[in-house]
Amino acid sequence: MYEKYQVKIPFSEGGITTKNIKGTTYIYYAYERTYDPGKRYSVPKTTSIGKRDDENPDMMYPNSNYLKYFPDMEIPEEIEGDTSRSSCLRVGTFFVIRKLMAVSHLDEMISRVIGKDSGLFLDLAAYSIITENNAGQYYPDYAYNHPLFTKQMRIYSDSKVSDFIGQDMTDERIGFLNEWNDSRDHRKKIYISYDSTNKHCQAGDIDFAEIGHEKDKQDKPIFNYAVAYDRNNNEPLFYEDYPGSINDVSQLQYMLEKIEGYGYKNVGFILDRGYFSEANIHYMDKHGYGFVIMVKGLKDLVSELVLKRQGMFEQNRKNSIRSYKLSGMTVKMQLFPSDEEDRYFHIYYSDRKHASEREKVEQKIDRMEAFLNKNRGKKMPPMPNIEKYFELLRYKEGTEENRLIGWRERADVIDREIALCGYFVLITSEKMTAEEAIDLYKSRDASEKLFRGDKSYMGARAERVYGNESFETKLFIEFIALIIRNKIYTCLKEAVKESGHKENYMTVPAAIRELEKIEMIRSSDRVYRMDHAVTATQKAILKAFGMSAADIKAYSRALSDDLKDITTR
């Protein structure tokens, strides 16, 4: 194995010789001489210490023997210790990600659509998962101490990463989403959880970034990002990005058209209350899509329904849904006057929810009353939010006009709101029990965790890009990372379910931190080896992915061989 750097061929009188083999000149050193009585002279014992650089005859590429017999010779400072790659590589999470991609053929799909730079694409996805960061300028730091998917594990600079992200990958993105969705079994009935969030753009001029319906009220330009999630198979199917000024209700019908374009026919949708509208309900009816949708309990549409059934099911054992610690009943009726079909209204009540929501109502009334006390005797403009709960008494004549002198609670309004505490309603298009409906709706937790993971654990709360191409490419990479991270989450979740108890290391962030402790160390012979045995905790995590300590050993040996080959080229 020869080093990548050059050193001057050492001078040793009678000790350095050369030999040309198939066009390559090798440098030999006589490290010992033994007297041969038959020949009556000393015979040298030689070994190769390097090979000559044909363009610089005084220079050679040394091997490990050179370092052994000439330990005091100066090695170029810039390459001493091979600073192109760390002497300690964190390999555990890389091995897991590589396996998950291979099982789902994700790596093959990316290779087909991206081409020669597919390795860098996958490395950027792995980088965002492992480091919880999506800033391209820090990628070289990650690449320095991790194995890579790039050819010969090449470490690219931040400028190369910037150029790569700046490419227009519209065709590649569309090609991947088509192939990813074509690989699904479209004959089976599936429920798709569809949800959206909004993100900021911290730099650049992005067409989609507009002032819109911002969830964290920062008054900054945003864009909307939505993901369709296959609840049955626990996989993200596709994503959408659209301008920040477009609300969820308006976008839903465009998403439904995309579902049809991907070939899905026998599907139902699990939707949050943000998508509730008469037009959307009728659109799903027209296309034969089923749905499970949340309706906020205080809406006039269902509040009367709740109040009429109050006391009919909350304390009945047959209505208890123990897995969610609530009670439920189902009522069949029409949703809108324009409906041609009946819907199934599932009414739920939770003691815990009642206690927390009632306390919020009481605190709200207390805050309003404190505000009124503070402003007694002052002029009060119309205040609809407060006047919903209080009758305000004001002077009506002279200079004292509109000054607040007192108030009375609207007890009937407050009592009605308290009576609705603890209740919520789901509406389904298909006949099912209250337990079946809540089970379907609660499966949205997986898609909600996707968004939390995307924002909190992959550094994607904001996109740090300067143009539309970079914006789209980065979202594409993040979606691939989202698929992989979701697979990690699903495997850990299934392992916890099977074992019946959850250890604190069986969350995605904790598991990644633990797997990152599996390291390979470069020895003085320049070969990477496992630093220590796999721990009991790491074995438990690896088991969730169908992997063992023996697998890690085998993967490490293969990686070591790959790195050895790369170094000698």
**Confidence band, pLDDT 50/70/90 cuts, at residue 174:** very high
Q: Mean pLDDT over residues 529-536, rounded?
A: 92
Tokens of 61: 């590429």
Whether pLDDT at 42 is above 60: yes
Mean pLDDT for the stretch of residues 39-58: 86
Question: Torsion over CA of 446, 355, 351 and 409, rounded to 10 degrees?
Answer: -120
Arithmetic mean of pLDDT, 518-524: 90
pLDDT the model gives residue 278: 81
Highest mean pLDDT among 252-266, 289-303, 508-522: 508-522
Q: Which residues pair with 32 in a beta bridge?
A: 45
pLDDT of 41 over the 90 cut: no
Q: Which residues of 494-528 are buried (b: 16+ CB within 10 A; e: fewer)?
A: ebeeeeeeeeebbbbeebbebbbebbbebeeebbb
Contact 281, 303 (CB under 8 A): no
- Tokens 């020949």 belong to which residue? 39
pLDDT: is 377 or 450 the higher one?
Answer: 377
Burial of 232 (0-12, 13-18, 19+ CB in 10 A): middle
For 267-322, write each residue's pLDDT tens digit.
Answer: 888 888 777 778 888 888 888 888 998 886 546 777 888 999 999 999 999 999 99
First to last CA, the chain: 9
Token reading at 539: 């074995």
Longest CA–CA span in the chain (Å) reads: 135
Q: Looking at residue 208, what is its pLDDT?
A: 47
pLDDT of residue 92: 97
Percent of the residues in the chain that have a pLDDT greater than 90, as a whole number:
42
530 three-class SS: strand
Question: Which residues are CB-neighbours of 322 under 8 A, at least 6 positions away?
Answer: none
Give the residue with greater pLDDT, 150 vs 524: 150
As a whole number, mean pLDDT of residues 55-79 equals 76
Residue 68 scores a pLDDT above 70: yes
3-state secondary structure 448-493: HHHHHHHHHCCCCCEECCCCHHHHHHHHHHHHHHHHHHHHHHHHHH
Q: In which band, very low, low, confident or very high, does the pLDDT at 457 lie, cut at 50, 70 and 90? A: very low
> pLDDT tier at 80 (50, 70, 90 boundaries)?
very low
What residues does 425 pair with on adjacent strands? 295, 347
Q: How confident is the model at residue 101 (pLDDT cuts 50, 70, 90)?
A: very high
pLDDT for the residue numbered 76: 65
Closest CA to 238 of 467, 473, 482: 482
The most confident of 92-101, 303-312, 375-384, 396-405, by mean pLDDT = 92-101
Q: Of residues 57 and 213, which shows the higher confidence score? A: 57
Residue 544: what pLDDT? Answer: 96
| CB-count burial class (<10 Å; 0-12, 13-18, 19+) for 463 | buried
Q: What number is the average pLDDT over the span 514-541?
A: 92
- Average confidence score pLDDT of the chain: 84
Q: Around Cβ 35, how many Cβ atoms within 10 Å?
A: 9
Q: Is 441:359 a contact under the CB 8 Å cutoff? A: no
Alpha-carbon gap, residue 413 to 27, rounded angstroms: 96
**Model pTM above 0.85:** no
pLDDT digits (tens, 9 = 90+) for 197-222: 765 555 445 454 455 455 555 556 66
Read off the pLDDT of residues 316-349 as tens digits, 9 standing for 90 and up: 999 999 989 999 999 998 888 887 788 999 999 9
Confidence of residue 449 (pLDDT cuts 50, 70, 90): low
> CA Rg, the chain, in Å?
34
Residues 155 and 143: their CA atoms lie apart, in Å, by 6
- Check residues 234 and 115 and name the one with the higher pLDDT: 115
pLDDT surpasses 50 at 12: yes
- Mean pLDDT throughout 473-487? 91
19 phi, psi to nearest 5 deg: -145, 130
